């Protein structure tokens, strides 16, 4: 069964304290690994798509990487405005849908 597990559930960082979020997955046929950011009461905002192991993508303080079993979202020198829930999703669900993890709630304190 296709599955996505994100860890940790919650992460508190001080401003400038770099860290990584983990997304572990099992899938019969990967058709993309997606990262989204979601602010309270809003829809998920697209960040990155990764398609093959070894691929990396960067955007400002965020960098996403992909292996055959995991994806990491690295946050370098975070700022309070990076506080949000970060969602990882698998493409290739049995119904052609995205399969989401439960998310990591990131809080960055000044």
Partner 1 sequence: KAGVTQTPRYLIKTRGQQVTLSCSPISGHRSVSWYQQTPGQGLQFLFEYFSETQRNKGNFPGRFSGRQFSNSRSEMNVSTLELGDSALYLCATTTLAGSTDTQYFGPGTRLTVL
Question: What is the binding site for partner 1 (CB under 8 A)?
Answer: 31-32, 34, 36, 41-46, 49, 87, 89, 91-93, 95-103
Least gap, CB of 34 to partner 1 (angstroms): 7
Least gap, CB of 84 to partner 1 (angstroms): 14
- Print burial letters for 17-44: b (CB count within 10 Å at least 16), e (below 16): eeeebebebebeebeebbbbbeeeeeeb
Residue placing its CB nearer to partner 1 in the complex, 8 or 16:
8
């Amino acid at each position: 069964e296709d599955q996505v597990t994100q860890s940790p559930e919650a992460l508190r960082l001080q401003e400038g304290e770099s860290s990584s979020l983990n997304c572990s997955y099992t899938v019969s046929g990967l058709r993309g690994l997606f990262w989204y950011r979601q602010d309270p009461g809003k829809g998920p905002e697209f960040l990155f798509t990764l398609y093959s192991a070894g691929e990396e993508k960067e955007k400002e303080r965020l960098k996403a990487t992909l292996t055959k079993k995991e994806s990491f979202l690295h946050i370098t020198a975070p700022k309070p405005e990076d506080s949000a829930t970060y969602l990882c999703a698998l493409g290739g669900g049995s119904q052609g849908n995205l399969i989401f993890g439960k998310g990591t709630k990131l809080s960055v304190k000044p």
